[in-house]
Amino acid sequence: MGEAANDLRMLRYVAEIARRLAKMLSRTRYQMLVYFLEMTAVEADSLAAEQDRRAEARKPPRN
């Protein structure tokens, strides 16, 4: 589970950094790069959420 938690943190970190870069660049003329960064953030969040759901599904039920 340690590696999975690490992966989730990394994906969320990538999403956060991509969003920050997109916000900084949104005031410039690099709109295609902004779009790419925003899509990267969305994809990273989506992958993290999917991994989170899989990890929850693998947990044994509590009694």
Determine, yes or no, domain membership for 61. no
Domain containing residue 16: 2-55
pTM value surpassing 0.75:
no
Question: What SS3 class is residue 26?
Answer: coil
Determine, yes or no, domain membership for 40. yes
The span from the CA of 4 to the CA of 14, in Å, is 15
pLDDT digits (tens, 9 = 90+) for 32-47: 999 999 999 999 999 9
| Alpha helices (runs of H) in the chain, residue ranges in sequence order | 2-25, 31-58
Determine, yes or no, domain membership for 18. yes
Q: Identify the segments of the chain with pLDDT beneath 70.
A: 1-5, 61, 63
Residue 57's pLDDT is: 82
Determine, yes or no, domain membership for 47. yes
Determine, yes or no, domain membership for 62. no
**Which pair of tokens denotes residue 45?**
């969040």
Determine, yes or no, domain membership for 63. no
- Average pLDDT of the chain? 85
Determine, yes or no, domain membership for 26. yes
